[in-house]
Amino acid sequence: MAIETKGLSLWYGDFQALFDVDLSVREGQITSMIGPSGCGKSTFLRTINRINERHSYVRTEGGVEVFGEDVMAEDVELVQVRKQIGMVFQRPNALPISIRENVLFGLKLHSTKKMSRAKQDDEVEKALRRVLLWDTVKDRLGDVATSLSLEEQQKLCIARLLPMKPRVLLMDEPCSALDPKATSAVEDLIWELRGEYTILIVTHNMAQARRASDECIFMLMGKVIEHTKTEEMFLTPGHQETADYIEGRYG
């Protein structure tokens, strides 16, 4: 299993956002998380790379294992956790530096030696090719990344994670700020990355979950209601709540 949580609960102050969540996410697959706003999908995502803990009012209980290693253990280095578990956000947050520097940003954070120019060029090209962006931006790598279109920015946000060789990519509604055409382009890209990376993707878009994931998790009020193969969930949901949500009866 790529990600495995056992009895994971989380509180924002007095408010409990996750209740005893047991989940297993398979390696190399795309798992989507669906559920109404505030059901704890994003919270769950942010617990995996422990970014939630930056707020002092957040308290967690239970275990999170990534590739068999306890990421909640005392001796875990948070910088390593975040380096190996990449996160993509709702609104593309390309950094206001050049496209090239965006791709190299993570790499430079985590290397002690200065990389040769050739090696850097190589990393930049590899990452940008992987996200199908190379041909569009290869002649303007020095441009400020925030001048790219949202679709390109979001692809860049994925590309800049790749040189750090993450094994897990967490995506928090990666297409919700994009128009339909861009959404489909980014979805294609995510599908393209399947197999090499374990991808956990939160989405509000039912159609997206359906066409672009192997397994699907339905959450409601901080609890996991159902977790099965995606096609199964959409064809024969095992719970009434799931069926109601999928059919748009609440959300």
Partner 1 sequence: MSSFQTTDLNQSNRRKESLVRILLGMVTLTLIIPVGIILVTLIAKSEGTFSWAFFSEFPRNSMTEGGIFPALVGTLWLVAVALLASVPFGVAAAIYLSEYAEDTALTRAINLAIINLAGVPSIVHALFGVGAFVLFFEFGTSILAASLTMAVMTLPVVIVATRESLQAVPQPFREACWNMGATRWQTIWRIVLPNSISGILTGVILEVSRTVGETAPIMFTGAALFLPFLPTSVYDQTMAMSLHLYVISTQVPDVPEGLPYGVALTLIAIVMILNSVSIGFRTYLRGKKKW
Binding site for partner 1 (CB under 8 A): 49, 51, 54, 56, 78-83, 86-87, 89, 91, 93-97, 105-106, 109-110, 144, 146-147, 157, 160-161, 164
Query: What is the rounded distance in angstroms from the CA atom of residue 75 to the CA atom of residue 2?
Result: 20
Measured from the CB of residue 251, what is the shortest distance to partner 1 in angstroms?
26
Q: Of 144 and 221, which CB lies nearer to partner 1 in the complex structure?
A: 144
Q: How far apart are the first and last CA of the chain?
A: 30
Query: What is the rounded distance in angstroms from the CA atom of residue 72 to the CA atom of residue 74?
Result: 7
Measured from the CB of residue 219, what is the shortest distance to partner 1 in angstroms?
22
Q: Of 79 and 207, which CB lies nearer to partner 1 in the complex structure?
A: 79
Query: Could you give the residue ranges of the DSSP H alpha helices within 112-205?
Result: 117-130, 134-137, 150-159, 180-193
Letter for the amino acid at 81?
V
Measured from the CB of residue 144, what is the shortest distance to partner 1 in angstroms?
5
Measured from the CB of residue 56, what is the shortest distance to partner 1 in angstroms?
6
Query: What is the rounded distance in angstroms from the CA atom of residue 233 to the CA atom of residue 203?
Result: 15
Which of left, alpha, beta for 62 (phi over 0: left; psi -120 to 50: alpha)? Answer: left
Q: Of 156 and 224, which CB lies nearer to partner 1 in the complex structure?
A: 156
Q: Of 52 and 183, which CB lies nearer to partner 1 in the complex structure?
A: 52
Query: What is the rounded distance in angstroms from the CA atom of residue 38 to the CA atom of residue 7?
Result: 19
Q: Of 55 and 239, which CB lies nearer to partner 1 in the complex structure?
A: 55
Angle formed by the axes of helices 117-130 and 150-159, nearest 10°: 120
Query: What is the rounded distance in angstroms from the CA atom of residue 98 to the CA atom of residue 211?
Result: 34
Q: Of 49 and 230, which CB lies nearer to partner 1 in the complex structure?
A: 49
**Cβ within 8 Å of residue 232, ≥6 positions away:** none
Measured from the CB of residue 157, what is the shortest distance to partner 1 in angstroms?
7
Measured from the CB of residue 184, what is the shortest distance to partner 1 in angstroms?
24
